[in-house]
């Protein structure tokens, strides 16, 4: 992990205006610069670069960030790559990444053994007469020579010791080859090849090193697939076949297609879908999803159209959802996988299927409707409960609200009832410090009755922009307000971060917050939006006072509604003592509300 101080040092030496202007022509507009957004098509410029805050934001598509974010998006690179390039450009020395340990001798030896095997098997496939049957097999499946070269596909001969003989000549020791899973020790003490009579698929890590091999039979023999064992350099749950080759295409398309097998991936590549990767004989894992998230936030899942494939798809969907990624499902006709579909229908037909990808909502709802009758009350309840359980795993509050509305219309159920059910499902998963503070500060009824949708209220946005502008406002807002006064969850989280930093005596600049929150796109979007909007503020002190008064008034309005409800209940029960207490509280609340409205600006 790169220290925040080093990242700040880089940003202090890099001018975002100069960086952005190398890609799009900027024009001065007040204190900021304007241009047509490079990330979506538009006729009128809505892309703003703020040189004071070193932030950019597009009012059209909502994308925003700092200089790191801009280069990551426009160059299709990950965070570390961008930081390293900028650090080199401005002369800042980066500390060594503890998560990137120096390659050990044992790891180097394993890579050397796997590389030797991959090169041998590839050479055998491409030129040795013993591979005639394998070449015919791959030709029938439509695998071109360019693809064989790109993925370094090979063939392991039927002989028991073909590779072993080659390895001995190359000076590779048997214990190393056994550890790499390339040789197996026989009962009589001799050695034989693990991979025999199989098409070989080298598995590369993020650096392009051969860390393992996968082998597929040419007929119906079992096991159909055989993979290298796990070693210091290979963990099948943390790597994906084809990711190294697909990374440029993933970044260019800003999407990744996830398939199950080696030949499925090759078929995607042949069909022009070069942003495909494959799992390695296991269900998709959180580590693999996080690996993909470094390159894109958009994923397609293409698993077999059978019950097993359906279950694998649902597991994968939830993992992508939990990581805040947008995921869509390509459901091929029954009996087809990507490989068989491409061979039967061609590349154009396959790409047409991807274009018809269904959203997670549509896919899950469609499956549930096949097992529960949505025309019955019991069926609606069961479908709603399962759907809401899925919604609870989403990071985006806006997405949850949109899905609830859509499900309400689909099942003709109360939106409020679904929101209540969602609240129960989400509580254990998404409890945050801010939510705990909200519970301690007062009842939920004290907040607005409206669900958090879209952007925060204007007063929240305006006040947030002022907090990012001046530390004085951060300290004063802590004294005057509560976290519960910020109803929108994203605004509340940003305010909490600023308040906690102020409590420690630290300062949080917008550009630094963007880096810290880069895995939370909703926070970054609101952060850059409020920064861009700050130019419209003329009298900052008066705006601050007005916003504080507005948020306080909204809080008291909520408390007043709650008291009115309690009063009606007490009157209905005939509890005069409780009625008197509530009337006293309402009178005190009215005084406080009057004070807020009459309070003069003392600045």
Instruction: Say if residue 542's pLDDT is above 70.
Output: yes
Q: How far is Cα 488 from Cα 401, in angstroms, rounded to an integer? A: 12
Q: Which secondary-structure segment (H or E) carries 498?
A: helix 489-503
Instruction: Say if residue 535's pLDDT is above 70.
Output: yes
Percent of the chain predicted with pLDDT > 90: 44
Mean pLDDT across 465-470: 90
Residue 99 has a pLDDT of: 56
Which DSSP string do the residues of 96-144 spell out, in sequence order?
Answer: P-TTSPPPPHHHHHHHHHHHHHHHHHHHHHHH-GGGHHHHHHHHHTT--
| 363 domain-assigned | no
First-to-last C-alpha distance (Å) of the chain: 43
For the record, the structure tokens of 135 come out as 């070449």
**Span 125-135, pLDDT tens digits:** 999 999 999 99
Higher pLDDT, 277 or 31: 277
| 63 domain-assigned | yes
Spatial CA neighbour of 279 closest among 266, 293, 261: 261
């496939």: which residue's tokens?
A: 125
Spatial CA neighbour of 154 closest among 195, 97, 102, 96: 195
Same domain, yes or no: 85 and 125 = no
Q: Of 64, 90, 116, which marks where a domain is finished? A: 90
Spatial CA neighbour of 267 closest among 355, 336, 197, 198: 336
Residue 441 has a pLDDT of: 37
Mean pLDDT across 5-17: 93
Residue 508 has a pLDDT of: 84
Same domain, yes or no: 527 and 552 = yes
| Cis amide prior to 461 (ω within 30 degrees) | no
Spatial CA neighbour of 418 closest among 396, 390, 455: 390
| 441 domain-assigned | no
Crossing angle, helix 471-480 and helix 540-573, to 10 degrees? 20
Instruction: Say if residue 426's pLDDT is above 90.
Output: no
Instruction: Say if residue 74's pLDDT is above 60.
Output: yes
Instruction: Say if residue 506's pLDDT is above 90.
Output: no
């890099």: which residue's tokens?
A: 14
| 36 domain-assigned | yes
Same domain, yes or no: 215 and 159 = yes
Task: Mark out the alpha helices in 254-396 (DSSP H runs).
Answer: 262-270, 286-293, 307-322, 338-355, 360-371, 377-391
Say which residues have a Cβ less than 8 Å from residue 93's Cβ, sequence separation at least 6.
87
Lowest mean pLDDT, pick from 62-76, 147-161, 447-461, 530-544: 447-461
Same domain, yes or no: 411 and 490 = no
Which DSSP string do the residues of 546-595 spell out, in sequence order?
Answer: HHHHHHHHHHHHHHHHHHHHHHHHHHHHT-HHHHHHHHHHHHHHHHHHHH
Same domain, yes or no: 198 and 281 = no
Which DSSP string do the residues of 226-289 spell out, in sequence order?
Answer: EEPPPBTTB-TTT--BTHHHHHHHHHHHT-EEEESSHHHHHHHHHTT-TTEEE--SS---HHHH
Higher pLDDT, 410 or 307: 410
Mean pLDDT across 131-157: 95
| 440 domain-assigned | no
pLDDT category at 251 given cuts 50, 70, 90 is confident
Same domain, yes or no: 465 and 591 = yes
Higher pLDDT, 432 or 240: 240
Pairing of β 256-259 and β 298-301: parallel
Residue 230 has a pLDDT of: 93
Q: How far is Cα 309 from Cα 332, in angstroms, rounded to an integer? A: 11
| 338 domain-assigned | yes
CATH of the domain at 10: 3.90.580.10
Q: How far is Cα 384 from Cα 407, in angstroms, rounded to an integer? A: 8
Q: How far is Cα 95 from Cα 84, in angstroms, rounded to an integer? A: 10
Q: How far is Cα 300 from Cα 287, in angstroms, rounded to an integer? A: 17
Instruction: Say if residue 236's pLDDT is above 60.
Output: yes
Please check whether residue 149 is in contact with residue 202, taking contact to mean a CB–CB distance below 8 angstroms. no
- The whole-angstrom distance between residue 486's C-alpha and the CA centroid of its chain comes to 26
CATH of the domain at 336: 3.40.1360.10
Residue 431 has a pLDDT of: 44
Mean pLDDT, the chain, as a whole number? 86
Residue 448 has a pLDDT of: 37
Q: Provide the number of structural domains found in the chain.
A: 5
**Span 436-460, pLDDT tens digits:** 333 333 333 333 333 344 678 888 9
CATH of the domain at 140: 3.90.980.10
DSSP structure class, residue 92: -
Lowest mean pLDDT, pick from 153-162, 207-216, 453-462: 453-462
Same domain, yes or no: 483 and 567 = yes
Same domain, yes or no: 466 and 580 = yes
**Span 19-50, pLDDT tens digits:** 999 889 999 998 899 999 998 888 889 999 99
Same domain, yes or no: 53 and 155 = no
Q: How far is Cα 20 from Cα 10, in angstroms, rounded to an integer? A: 16
Instruction: Say if residue 259's pLDDT is above 70.
Output: yes
| 435 domain-assigned | no
Q: What is the 3-state secondary structure (H, E, C) of 417-445?
A: HHHHHHHHHHHHHHCCHHHHHHHHHCCHH
- Number of other CB atoms surrounding residue 54 within 10 Å: 22
Same domain, yes or no: 183 and 301 = no
Mean pLDDT across 187-211: 93
| 365 domain-assigned | no
Q: How far is Cα 460 from Cα 18, in angstroms, rounded to an integer? A: 32
Please check whether residue 16 is in contact with residue 2, taking contact to mean a CB–CB distance below 8 angstroms. no
């097993």: which residue's tokens?
A: 308
Instruction: Say if residue 373's pLDDT is above 70.
Output: yes
Q: How far is Cα 108 from Cα 130, in angstroms, rounded to an integer? A: 31
Domain containing 412 equals 373-430
> What predicted TM-score, i.e. pTM, was given to this entire model?
0.62
Same domain, yes or no: 526 and 500 = yes
Same domain, yes or no: 206 and 109 = yes
Please check whether residue 32 is in contact with residue 19, taking contact to mean a CB–CB distance below 8 angstroms. no
């Amino acid at each position: 992990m790169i220290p925040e101080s080093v990242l700040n040092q880089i940003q202090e030496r890099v001018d975002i205006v100069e960086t952005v202007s190398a890609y799009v022509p900027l024009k001065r507009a007040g204190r900021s610069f304007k241009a047509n957004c490079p990330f979506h098509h538009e006729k009128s410029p809505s892309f703003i670069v703020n040189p004071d805050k070193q932030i950019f934001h597009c009012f059209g598509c909502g994308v925003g960030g700092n200089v790191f974010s801009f280069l990551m998006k426009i160059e299709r690179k990950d965070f570390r790559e961008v930081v390293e390039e900028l650090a080199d450009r401005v002369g800042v020395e980066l500390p060594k990444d503890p998560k990137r340990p120096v390659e050990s001798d044992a790891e180097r030896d394993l890579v050397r053994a796997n590389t030797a095997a991959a090169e041998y098997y590839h050479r055998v496939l491409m030129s040795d007469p013993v591979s005639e049957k394998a070449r015919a097999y791959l030709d029938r499946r439509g695998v071109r020579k360019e693809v064989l070269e790109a993925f370094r596909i090979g063939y392991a001969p039927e002989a028991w010791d073909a590779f072993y003989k080659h390895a001995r000549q190359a000076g590779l020791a048997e214990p190393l080859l056994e550890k790499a899973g390339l040789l197996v020790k026989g009962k009589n003490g001799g050695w034989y090849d693990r991979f025999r009579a199989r098409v070989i698929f080298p598995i590369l890590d993020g650096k392009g090193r051969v860390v393992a091999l996968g082998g597929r039979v040419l007929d119906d023999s079992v096991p159909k697939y055989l993979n290298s064992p796990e070693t210091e350099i290979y963990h099948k749950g943390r790597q994906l076949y084809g990711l190294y080759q697909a990374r440029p295409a993933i970044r260019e398309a800003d999407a990744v297609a996830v398939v199950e097998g080696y030949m499925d991936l090759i078929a995607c590549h042949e069909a022009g879908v070069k942003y495909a990767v494959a799992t390695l004989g296991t269900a998709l894992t959180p580590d693999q999803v996080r690996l993909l998230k470094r390159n894109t936030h958009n994923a397609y899942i293409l698993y077999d159209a059978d019950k097993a494939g359906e279950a694998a798809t649902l597991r994968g969907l939830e993992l992508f959802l939990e990581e805040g990624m947008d995921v869509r499902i390509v459901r091929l006709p029954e009996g087809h996988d990507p490989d068989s579909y491409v061979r039967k229908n061609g590349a154009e037909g396959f790409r047409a299927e991807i274009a018809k990808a269904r959203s997670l909502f549509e896919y899950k709802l469609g499956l549930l409707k096949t097992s529960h009758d949505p025309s019955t009350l019991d069926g609606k309840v069961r479908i709603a409960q399962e759907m809401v359980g899925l919604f609870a795993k989403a990071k985006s509050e806006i997405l949850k609200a949109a899905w609830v509305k859509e499900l309400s219309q689909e099942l003709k159920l109360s939106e409020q009832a679904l929101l209540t059910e969602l609240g129960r499902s989400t509580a254990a998963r998404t409890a945050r410090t801010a939510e705990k503070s909200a519970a301690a500060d007062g009842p939920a009824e004290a907040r607005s009755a409206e669900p958090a949708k879209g952007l925060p209220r204007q007063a929240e946005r305006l006040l947030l922009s002022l907090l990012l502008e001046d530390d004085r406002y951060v300290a004063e807002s802590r004294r005057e307000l509560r976290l519960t006064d910020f109803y929108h969850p994203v605004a509340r989280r940003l305010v909490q971060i600023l308040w906690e930093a102020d409590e420690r005596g630290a300062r949080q600049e917008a550009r630094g917050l963007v880096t810290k929150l880069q895995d939370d796109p909703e926070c970054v979007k609101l952060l850059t939006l409020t920064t861009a909007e700050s130019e419209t503020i003329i009298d900052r002190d008066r705006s601050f006072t007005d916003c504080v008064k507005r948020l306080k008034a909204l809080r008291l309005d909520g408390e007043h509604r709650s008291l009115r409800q309690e009063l009606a209940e007490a009157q209905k029960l005939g509890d005069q003592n409780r009625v008197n207490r509530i009337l006293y509280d309402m009178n005190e609340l009215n005084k406080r509300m009057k004070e807020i409205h009459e309070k003069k600006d003392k600045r």
